Amino acid sequence: MVRLIFAAILVATVAPAQAQGADDAQRYESCMAVTRGEAQKGVEAALAWRREGGGAAADHCLATALVARGDASEGAQLLEQLAAEDSSPNPAMRARLYGQAGRAWLQSGDSRRAWAALTDALRLDRDATDILVDRAVALAGLRLYFEAIDDLSRALDLAPGGAEAFVMRATAWRHLDNLELADDDLARALALAPDNADAFLERGNIRRLRGQNAAARADWLAVLRLDPDGPAAEAARVNIEQMDIVPNR
């Protein structure tokens, strides 16, 4: 099985502007620390703080805890609401909140809503490379590979050292049957990060498409060596099994 592997989606910590006082900031950090330790306890702590008037800071902790607990769509909706209501004079803060909502939608499997939230984020902060990369993931989920390549290319123009973005763009080129450009991007990725398991996974995928089974197997075995417990390793194992069942394409 050859599949599109991008990145795990996590909601990063961005304290809302409303957590201004020292007591609020300390309560926020405490709530987030509980969430990082155990998501369900984070939900409970955030709800308790909310009842005490914790406002947007409590809501942000709650949204983060919901995503961590696996209720990503519920967390995404709350993050979008926080972004829409945010009173910070700094547009980058609202962009971060929309960006977090987009990542949560991606985690829930809703690429269309992720694209919408991430587009809102980029209207506020057009040079945010991480948000560009996340929107590329959403576009790929919608099979809009040329558009995903556009976002990845802009992200790489802004931050040329992003090995993962080169791997992601190579994957998009593969879906468009342009294996030569995919090879070029993988060469750049491996020059930047010689132990990048995702790059070896993708190179194996391309070699398999070319009928270079021994080389594909070598790349997928490299994935198992570099990251035996990660999602790339799971894909590599499935690919090897499939190749053994159907050795010729």
Over the stretch 120-153, which tens digit does the pLDDT of each residue have?
999 999 999 999 999 999 999 999 999 999 999 9
What local confidence, expressed as pLDDT, does residue 249 receive? Answer: 61
Find all residues with CB under 8 Å of 149, minimum gap 6, and list them. 136, 169, 172, 173
Residue 221: Cβ within 10 Å count: 14
Q: Which two tokens stand for residue 56?
A: 């947007």
Q: How far apart are CA 208 and CA 186, in angstroms?
A: 15
Residue 149 is predicted with a pLDDT of: 98
- Predicted local confidence at residue 11, as pLDDT: 44
**Binning pLDDT at 50, 70 and 90, where does residue 16 land?**
low
Tokens read off for 201: 């996974």
Report pLDDT for 218: 98
Domain with CATH 1.25.40.10 in the chain: 175-249
Residue 11 is given by DSSP the state: P
Is pLDDT of 85 > 80?
yes
Examine the pLDDT at 12 and tell me if it is beyond 60: no
CATH domain 175-249 topology: 1.25.40
Q: What does the block give as tokens for 231? A: 């999602």
Token couple for 41: 């306890």
Q: Which of these ranges, 21-25, 145-149, 207-211, has the smallest mean pLDDT?
A: 21-25
Q: Which of 63, 76, 72, 74 is nearest to 35 (CA)?
A: 63
What would the two tokens of residue 186 be? 């993988």
Residues 194/187, Cβ–Cβ less than 8 Å: no
What percent of the chain is modeled with pLDDT above 90? 85
Cα separation, 60 vs 82, in Å, equals: 7
Question: Residue 22: is its pLDDT beyond 70?
Answer: no
Q: Render the burial of 10-32: b for 16+ CB within 10 Å, e for the rest.
A: ebeebbbbbbeeeebeebbeebb
User: How is residue 236 written in tokens?
Assistant: 């590599």
CA atoms within 13 A on the CB side of 172: 27
Work out the widest C-alpha separation in the chain, in whole angstroms. Answer: 65
Summary mean pLDDT of the chain: 91
User: Residue 247's pLDDT is what?
Assistant: 72
Global pTM reads 0.87
CA distance 153 to 72: 28
Q: 231 phi and psi, to 5 degrees?
A: -65, -30
What single-letter amino acid sits at 131?
A: I
Element (H, E) at 96: helix 91-108
**Given this model, what pLDDT does residue 86 score?**
87
d(C-alpha 78, C-alpha 100), whole Å: 10
> Which pLDDT band, with edges at 50, 70 and 90, does 170 fall under?
very high
28 within 8 A of 19, measured Cβ to Cβ? yes
